[in-house]
A and B are shown apart, each in its own frame.
Chain A
Amino acid sequence: MTAVSDMNTPSQSLNSGLQPDGLPARLRRRYFRTPGNAVISMVGMAALFYLAFHALDWAVLKAVWISPDSTSAVCRDIAGACWAVIQQRWRIIIFGLFPYDEQWRSMLACLVMVATIVLSCLPWSWRPLRLSILWCAGFLIFYVLMRGGLFGMRAVLPADWGGLTLTVFLYAAGVLIGMPMAIAMALLRRSDMPLVSRMTGALIDGVRSLPLITILFTAALIFPFVLPGWLQGDKIWRVIIGFALFFAAYQAEIIRSGIQSIPVGQEEAAKALGLSYWHRTGRIILPQAFRNALPPTINQLVITFKETSLIVIIGFFEILASGNAAYGTGEWSFAYFEVYIFVALVYFVFVFSLSRYGAYLERRMRFGQH
């Protein structure tokens, strides 16, 4: 009893020392502890407010949002942002060169693809059967909507697909094809057979030593000369395969690093229980490897999303290229800054959601950790 009360007194006084934790007190403690601190804080905050005000002033207060006559005349002689360019040209940014009257299809297809991605991120869908049904359905609906030629919809060739829809499609298809390739490459590289592991290693290193642009270039322009006609397929598919291969080469090494960080005892215990290679790999090794490799995997997914913009080099108008086209007419050419901000915002929404999802996964998985 005495011991307890002895313990209580100092801890109470300690608490009361930290107790007044309202906002002003916290600000004072953190930013105004010494005169030097106070000066630096004041200068810093003043600069911050100044910049924030200017940004707000430009982006909101003095901005023009709507062009009543569909021309850029409304933006002449203004000191703020000309968001009218987005209001007038957003369809080009989002849908690219897709025929104007059919753009509802592109919109719908894009939503279907995003919904498929979001649904497959939910723990509920993490069953092989559910995931395969989800993705087959997702891609099928997307393809029918975009390609048309069925149900009285006008056919639209992939060369005319564009904008955000194309970006999302290229990304989803590339990652979806690339991820199994990456797993296969990581496992083959660990094979006991020297020939298999060396050849996989050579493939991974080979692909990694080439810039993505050269791979896309080869897939789009060189392969038609090399491959027999029936193997060529549409340019978009060759580009997706090239894109997937590039993603897979990096992701394979990430997965391999995840596998290597698992203690040997895990595989031994699984072997000792009589589990077959596929059961050991699928139930013991890969789940732990992905958990270990989650941060670099999210990293790679983020980088890959931004790399989709490179397909402009072979003539596809993904969202960034469509943005260029949106202000490319002489009339709106002054408004490139607003267009880029809009495109950046779209990228931000996707990439930021992805990294928040990564953080959620890490929290979720920490529960079962050592």
Chain B
Amino acid sequence: MSEAAVRIAGMNKFYGRFQVLRDINLDVRSGERIVICGPSGSGKSTLIRCINRLEEHQQGRIDVLGTELNDDIGNIDHIRRDVGMVFQHFNLFPHLTVLENCTLAPTLARKVPVEEAEATAMTYLTRVRIPEQAAKFPGQLSGGQQQRVAIARALCMKPKILLFDEPTSALDPEMIKEVLDVMVELAQDGMTMLCVTHEMGFARQVADRVIFMDKGEIVEQGRPAELFDNPKNERTRTFLSQVLSH
């Protein structure tokens, strides 16, 4: 019985009067790998952005690593250090080198000594297979390389949970695999992961659980094999037929 990494109960979120998330209940065990899929506008990105409070929820309760998310900014900064995030558009800092991108947050937010932070950064850059790019600026790298740097940057904070917000959607097709390979390795190492992605092959390979969302609701969830091969809900079936048909 492992502790809950994320616990979301009865959560609702609104943009003005429009409800984007509806009665979300989700428990994520430590070490669990979850893939969230669904049509665009279904609220899946918003959901994982609520977990590190890039978005605020209005009703219900979210606990991350045992701490409730509320207006306490100190708490939020603390939780964010333990929850890494990888974005669709990488969001690397263009004015810093690859190495500085990786060492900035550990040295500032975790007060890690510079040499130690650099050593850690080189370890993770090696792990994502681009140590030789450390001195370059992000603008000099390809999309796939940038996304791998972004993953290394998140890992340098030694997070307990990693959130992926469509990490391969902005990549050229030939670069998707190099990023997915890194993500598969992370999953195999036991990282707690929540991935919003349309990569169904990745979901089948590593996910413990696949969550299907539509119109702000969790419609259906289950093991990848169950959900993909034997979807119970009509909306899941329609979506999967569209994603898997080509």
Q: B-contacting residues of A (Cβ < 8 Å)? A: 263, 265-266, 268-276, 279, 283-284, 287-288, 291, 365, 367-370
Q: In residues 65-102 of chain B, which contact A (Cβ within 8 Å)?
A: 77-85, 87, 89, 91-97
B139 interface residue (CB < 8 Å to A): yes
Q: Which of B84, B89, B104, B108: most chain A Cβ within 10 A?
A: B108
B: residues with CB less than 8 A from A are: 52, 54, 77-85, 87, 89, 91-97, 104-105, 108-109, 137-139, 153-154, 157, 163
Within the assembled complex, what's the spacing in Å between the Cα atoms of A271 and B87? 12
Which of A274, A275, A279 has most chain B Cβ within 10 Å? Answer: A274
Bound complex: CA of A321 vs CA of B82, how far in Å? 63
CB-CB under 8 A from A276, the residues of chain B are 77, 108-109
- Helix, strand, loop or mixed for chain A's interface? helix
A74-B163 Cα distance, complex, nearest whole Å:
84
Bound Cα distance from A35 to B79, whole angstroms: 76
Most chain B beta-carbon contacts within 10 A, residue among A265, A268, A273, A370: A273
Residues of the B chain whose Cβ atoms lie less than 8 Å from the Cβ of A265:
87, 89, 91
- Measured between alpha carbons, how far is A270 from B137 in the docked complex, in Å? 17
Q: Are A367 and B137 in contact (CB under 8 A)?
A: yes
Number of A-B contacts (CB under 8 A): 79
Residues on the B chain within 8 Å of A368, using CB: 94-97, 137, 139
The reply to whether B80 and A271 contact each other, CB–CB distance below 8 Å, is yes
Contact B109 A268 (CB under 8 A): no
Q: Are B93 and A279 in contact (CB under 8 A)?
A: no
A343: shortest Cβ distance to chain B, in Å?
Answer: 40
Complex: how many Å from CA A263 to CA B95? 13
Chain B proximity of A287: nearest CB distance (Å): 5
C-alpha gap A267/B54 in the complex (Å): 10
Known A-B contacts A271-B54, A272-B85, A273-B153; A266 and B109 likewise in contact (beta carbons under 8 Å): no
Bound together, the chains give a CA A287 to CA B95 distance in angstroms of 8
In the docked arrangement, what's the CA distance between A263 and B94, Å? 11
- Chain B residues whose CB sits within 8 angstroms of the CB of A291 once the complex forms: 95
- Chain A residues contacting B104 (CB-CB under 8 Å) are 273, 275, 283
- Decide if A268 touches B157 in the complex (CB within 8 Å): no
State A370–B80 Cα separation when bound (angstroms). 27
Q: Give the chain B neighbours of A268 by CB distance below 8 A.
A: 54, 87, 91
**Distance in angstroms between the alpha carbons of A279 and B80 in the assembled complex:** 14
Q: Are B84 and A272 in contact (CB under 8 A)?
A: yes
Q: Which residues of B contact A284 (CB under 8 A)?
A: 93
Known pairs A265-B87, A274-B81, A368-B97 / 11 extra A-B pairs, C-beta < 8 Å: A268-B87, A270-B105, A271-B52, A272-B54, A272-B85, A273-B153, A274-B80, A279-B109, A368-B94, A369-B94, A370-B94
Is there contact, CB below 8 Å, between A369 and B139? yes
Inter-chain CA distance A146–B92, complex, in Å, is 49
- Contact between chains at A274 and B77 (CB < 8 Å): yes
Report A269 CB to chain B, min CB distance, Å.
4
Contact yes or no, B157 A273, CB < 8 A:
yes
Task: Give the distance in Å from the alpha carbon of A288 to the alpha carbon of B95 in the complex.
Answer: 7
- On chain A, the residues within 8 Å of B163 by CB distance are 272
Shortest Cβ-Cβ A-B pairs, 7 listed:
A274-B81, A269-B91, A273-B105, A265-B91, A274-B80, A272-B85, A370-B139
Please measure, in the bound complex, the distance between the C-alpha atom of A227 and the C-alpha atom of B192, giving whole angstroms: 63
Q: Name 10 A/B residue pairs within 8 A (Cβ), A-sorted.
A: A265-B87, A268-B87, A272-B83, A272-B84, A273-B109, A274-B82, A287-B95, A288-B93, A365-B95, A370-B139
A275–B93 CA distance with the chains assembled, in angstroms: 13
The answer to whether B52 touches A272 (Cβ under 8 A) is: yes
Contacts A368-B139, A369-B139, A370-B139; A269 near B93 (Cβ below 8 A) = yes
Could you tell me the distance between the alpha carbons of A150 and B84 in the complex, rounded to whole angstroms?
Answer: 60
Distance in angstroms from A317 CB to nearest chain B CB is 43
Chain B residues with CB under 8 A of A273: 80-81, 84, 104-105, 109, 153-154, 157
Please name all residues of chain A whose beta carbon is closer than 8 Å to the beta carbon of B96 when the two chains form the complex.
368
Q: What's the least CB distance linking B160 to chain A, in Å?
A: 12
Q: Which residues of A contact B77 (CB under 8 A)?
A: 274-276
What residues of chain A lie closer than 8 Å to B91, measured between beta carbons?
Answer: 263, 265-266, 268-269
> In the complex, what distance in Å separates the CA atom of A266 from the CA atom of B93?
7
CA A16 – CA B154 in complex, angstroms?
A: 54
Q: How far is the CB of A275 from chain B (nearest CB, A)?
A: 5
Q: For the complex, what is the distance from the CA of A273 to the CA of B104, rounded to whole Å? A: 9
Chain B residues contacting A370 (CB-CB under 8 Å) are: 94, 138-139
A271–B73 Cα gap in the complex (Å)? 11
CA separation between A271 and B109, bound complex, in Å?
A: 11
**Cα distance A42–B85 in the bound complex, in angstroms:** 67
Asked if A274 meets B139 with Cβ closer than 8 Å, knowing A288-B95, A368-B95, the reply is: no
Which among A269, A272, A284 has the highest number of chain B CB atoms within 10 Å?
A: A272
A268 to B165, CA, bound (A): 12
Smallest CB separation, A361 vs chain B (Å): 13
Closest to A282 in B: B108
**Chain A residues whose C-beta falls within 8 Å of the C-beta of B139 in the assembled complex:** 368-370
Could you tell me the distance between the alpha carbons of A288 and B91 in the complex, rounded to whole angstroms?
13
Which residues of chain B are within 8 angstroms of A275 by Cβ–Cβ distance?
77, 104-105, 108-109
